[in-house]
Structure 1
Amino acid sequence: MTHLSTHSWLKVTLIYGGLALFGFWCIHNFQKDLRQIDFASLHGGWWAVLASGLLSLFNYGLRIVRWQRYLRHMGHQLPWGLSALSYMAGFAFTLSPGKVGEMVRARYYSRYQVPLNDVTAAFFAERLMDLIVILLLSLAMLAALPAYHLVMWLGIGLISVVVGTLLLMPWARLQAWLQAHPSADSSLIKLLHAVATMLLRARRFLSPGMLLWSLALGLIAWGAEAIGFKIVGDVIHPDAPLSWASGIGIYATATLVGALSFLPGGLGSTEAVMASLLYAQGFPVPEALLLTLICRVLTLWLAVIIGWLCVWILRHDH
């Protein structure tokens, strides 16, 4: 009994110690960004920051709707409150590489008997749809900038390979072959079987109706954040406001590069591309940095803060 208690204590310590360190890292990076912001350039345009923040919340709301639709598409009827809180709780770990830390939401579905493979399939489909949407939003900007043609073709190629593989691979046969494999009990075969099962289930999200619905909702959701970016940019640099195409394209291109970099939250890569593109559009360096950092506060750190709040609420409920 003592051994079990000690083991449980160590497990809890490691879990909460890891969460504390991760939270400290998030707060440290946020403070580092905040110290670089010169608020004088806003010239009383805080209404634009507020509007941009509300558009980010609108983005989250639409993505919650999509997540709930994905779960129901697989036959899981979860309460809206749980879906919303668990989805946002994943944002507490959005700084993990490839955002895989957002899969933490799966732990809240155990009492509803939602298989982990279904959650991973929905998560994979969600990430794929977001990547396609961001690429579509950035195409106009990328096509006009030769220096970023490689990023554009890399994104198009990556998405084409992933979608083609999902549609054309005989996942059911591969799944059955792995299950009947002589080494079916080995860790590697079990992992490959789980991946094949997840991808087989993810394919159902690529039916024409679901695909078009997901893309339309994604374009509205991510387009809202891009519009917020353009609104704040016009306040910071009113002498030469960004065109709608440029504003949306810069936001989407920087987000795309951050996603393809697989850095935690795109930190560093997203900021560098966004500031560079703004400078190329005529923004002075201080104003380009200001807009970049405000955008990151409203689209990354706001989500992280809300995510940790939702983690606390769910922990309290449990």
Structure 2
Amino acid sequence: MPPDSAPAGLRLTPKQKRNLSLSLLFSAIIYLGFALAAGKQSLLNAAATLGGMGWLLILCCSFSNYLLRFLRWQYYLRCLGHHLPSLLHFNYYLAGFALTTTPAKAGETIRSLYLKNHGVPFKHSLASFFCERFQDLIIVTLLASLALLSFDEYRYFVFITALTLLILLSVLRNKKLPLFFRQLGNILHILWLRRVLEHLARLLESAHALLQPRRLYSGLLLGLLAWSVQGLAFYFILATLNSALPLSMSLSIYAISLLAGALSFIPGGIGATETIMYLLLSQAGVDHSLALVIPIISRVSTLWFAVVLGLLASVNLSLGKATAIK
């Protein structure tokens, strides 16, 4: 297909629609619990205090986060030899957010299905996705390390996470790792497992090309800018609601909450991220009702804003003939 043409849009299967609906229901229950505990008026007052310009600024920060992360994603695919029209590619990237909160395994890897129509093999798109997520963990852990200035009791959590990621990075950059998985597959003599290990070896070979110093540091820089902008939005929310904390403490609270959500292995970190954010805000001296309201505002303007953009991008891409996601 010509590089400038968009492939047929992808539509959600009934199962994926059900999973998305369940994640929305689960989140609504959690946020309702937070809102009831804080008091309806506290939530309404906080939303009103931010005002239209405040909400716009927060959403612009979130969009800047997605844009910077897309630039990193696009850079990695170009490093692997794939050049797509930027606007169309950005739509693919945003569409990946539509299933961020679902239990289904597709999640953001739905981008691979779009990119396959442009000749991008799964091993390349999945390798880019893997490197992107791994770098995000490194960056969020780096921001979380600011907690050492404010929360002594979390130093071991941050230290162990950082050490684990450094060890993993060292292992992943080892050129012999793909060979190890291939040899393991040959030893086991199990056909399906051999195929899985072969796919993993190919993914790691592609990922290895993206973890070379220049590409690694470029990706980390873009990621650091992206997550710092998002952290500043969180700081703005606190300051606007008269709950200002030192910038380092605000960034660390936001980062630790995201890290806890990621390590919980719950899709989107729903429930885990909000709970940790509330506990840390309370520990930092933020008023009880605001400590309950702020996580709701933060997550609506980040996670759920991304889901909405993802759904809109999916609809935009589906204006042509739809193809069900298998």
Fold agreement, TM-score > 0.5? yes
Deviations 1:244-298 (A, max 9, x none): 1111111111111111111111111111111111111111111011111100001
2:46 pairs with 1:23: no
Instruction: Determine the structure 2 residue equivalent to 1:201.
Output: 206
1:97, 1:265 within 8 Å by CA — same for their partners in 2?
Answer: no
SS of 1:242's equivalent in the other structure is coil
Q: 1:233 to 1:289 in 2, by over 3 A?
A: same
2:133 pairs with 1:127: yes
Structure 2 distance, partners of 1:33, 1:54, is 25
RMSD: 2.4
Instruction: Determine the structure 1 residue equivalent to 2:284.
Output: 281
SS of 1:283's equivalent in the other structure is coil
- Structure-2-length-normalised TM-score: 0.86
Counterpart of 1:192, as a letter, is: L
Counterpart of 1:89, as a letter, is: A
Alignment of 1:53-68 (within 5 A): 53-68=59-74
1:279, 1:288 within 8 Å by CA — same for their partners in 2?
Answer: yes
**Equivalent position to 1:216, from 217, 221, 224:** 221
Instruction: Determine the structure 2 residue equivalent to 1:225.
Output: 230
- State the shift of 1:209 in Å: 1.1
Which region of structure 1 is more displaced relative to structure 2, 300-309 or 135-144? Answer: 135-144
- State the shift of 1:18 in Å: 1.1
Instruction: Determine the structure 2 residue equivalent to 1:7.
Output: none
Q: 1:306 to 1:16 in 2, by over 3 A?
A: same
SS of 2:318's equivalent in the other structure is helix
Structure 2 distance, partners of 1:59, 1:261, is 23
Deviations 1:190-232 (A, max 9, x none): 0011111111210111211111111111111011111001101
2:234, 2:254 within 8 Å by CA — same for their partners in 1?
Answer: yes
**Equivalent position to 2:298, from 289, 295, 298:** 295
1:98, 1:263 within 8 Å by CA — same for their partners in 2?
Answer: no
Report which structure shows greater RCO (CA 8 Å, sep ≥6): 2
Instruction: Determine the structure 2 residue equivalent to 1:6.
Output: none
Structure 1 distance, partners of 2:86, 2:153, is 44
Specify every segment of 5 or more residues in structure 1 that has no aligned partner in the other structure, as ranges: 1-11
Specify every segment of 5 or more residues in structure 2 that has no aligned partner in the other structure, as ranges: 1-9, 322-326
1:98, 1:259 within 8 Å by CA — same for their partners in 2?
Answer: no
Counterpart of 2:282, as a letter, is: Y
Higher helix share: 1
- Structure-1-length-normalised TM-score: 0.88
Counterpart of 2:235, as a letter, is: K
